[in-house]
Chain A
Amino acid sequence: MPHDHHEHPHSLLPSDPALRVKALETILTRKGLVDPAALDAILDTYERKVGPHLGAQVVARAWSDPAFLGELRSDASAAIATLGISGRQGEHVVAVENTPEVHNMVVCTLCSCYPWPLLGIPPAWYKSDAYRARAVREPRKVLAEFGVTLPEGQKVRVWDSTAEVRYLVIPMRPAGTEGLGEADLAALVTRDSMIGTGLPGVPS
């Protein structure tokens, strides 16, 4: 919590939207429409537990274990559940694999649908109008701004997420990683490489 060292006779007044959120929370909990314990559990999950480290585990396993990759291709939600990662109800995860021919990239043109259980809360740029509008229209230009330049022959396929279908990009396994175990591989898998706006790191 930010601490204010100036003299304040009263508590610092939160911003207008912060007060409006507090008001909704007060009304909804008073009416029993939301359970404060459920709110705390959701906050704990999204502030502390989920994040790109989970998606990275999935990618590292897919790189290391052909049987798992097969499961991921046929039913990604079921495959990730075997790693103890549960999706949200009503959401289906689809894994899209990068190949020398096709580079995959994910957007949500409607709002900001994103594979939360695998990557956590999306970064601000993913939620911006600029990305949402341009990812489909000029993906190569957007990729260039992320520092990603693809070989000319590699096509870009853009996947538009929905409330029901969330995409996870499985990047290509970097060269020179043959001897690496899953934990070392996972460390190379960046968040952006699983959205398709980046590439995995290379072993140092």
Chain B
Amino acid sequence: MTDAPAAPFDDPWHAQLFALTVALSDAGHFSWRDWTEAFGATLRDHGAARALDGQVLDGRGDYWNAWLATLEALLARTGAANPDEAEAVRAGWERAYLSTPHGKPVRLGD
């Protein structure tokens, strides 16, 4: 709750996710209005789920997890990235990290 100059993103993936979403909207794949409505709906759902435990969503990890879930659902709906495809590529990246010696650049295998 201060004015201390903070890094705009807590984690590099938050920044990547933000940039990806803005780039998709800038390129015309969805309007920002559609984005805010979809994202607002996810935040409501996640918030309602959390409320069952008497908790509320924080504006950090919870927020970006909701953002990611929204983008995944949106891309699944448009067919730009369907869930099977996204999971296969995610698993591919996981394998790549686990099989690349520490310190070497990690590259996605085929």
Do residues A111 and B102 form an inter-chain contact, with CB atoms below 8 A? no
Known contacts being A34-B27, A128-B56, A198-B3, is A121 close to B18, with CB within 8 Å?
yes
Interface string of A119-150 (1 = CB under 8 A from B): 01111111111110100000000000110000
* A109-125 at interface with B (beta carbon < 8 Å): 110-113, 120-125
Interface size for A (C-beta < 8 A) is: 64
Known contacts being A90-B31, A111-B39, A192-B3, is A25 close to B65, with CB within 8 Å?
no
Query: Does A163 belong to the interface (CB within 8 Å)?
Result: yes
Looking at A39, A110, A111, A190, the one whose CB has the most chain B CB atoms below 10 A away is A111
Which residues on B sit within 8 Å (CB–CB) of A191?
3
Query: How far, in Å, is B74 (CB) from chain A's closest CB?
Result: 10
* B19-57 at interface with A (beta carbon < 8 Å): 19-20, 22-24, 26-27, 29, 31-33, 35-37, 39-40, 43, 47, 50, 56-57
Contact of A110 among B36, B57, B80, B106 (CB under 8 A): B36
Which residues on B sit within 8 Å (CB–CB) of A23?
81, 86-87, 89-90, 92-93
Contact of B9 among A26, A47, A198 (CB under 8 A): A47
* B76-103 at interface with A (beta carbon < 8 Å): 80-81, 85-87, 89-90, 92-94, 97-103
Which residues on A sit within 8 Å (CB–CB) of B104?
11
Known contacts being A14-B97, A23-B89, is A46 close to B8, with CB within 8 Å?
yes
Contact of A25 among B10, B16, B87, B94 (CB under 8 A): B16
Do residues B86 and A110 form an inter-chain contact, with CB atoms below 8 A? no
* A1-42 at interface with B (beta carbon < 8 Å): 4, 8-15, 17-28, 31, 33-35, 38-39, 42
* Chain A residues close to B by CB (< 8 Å): 4, 8-15, 17-28, 31, 33-35, 38-39, 42-43, 46-47, 51-52, 88-91, 110-113, 120-131, 133, 145-146, 162-164, 190-192, 197-198
Offer 24 A-B interface pairs, CB within 8 angstroms, sorted by A.
Answer: A10-B100, A11-B101, A12-B102, A17-B65, A20-B68, A22-B89, A24-B81, A25-B20, A26-B89, A31-B80, A34-B23, A39-B16, A39-B19, A42-B26, A52-B3, A121-B18, A124-B10, A124-B58, A125-B1, A128-B59, A128-B63, A129-B50, A130-B56, A192-B3
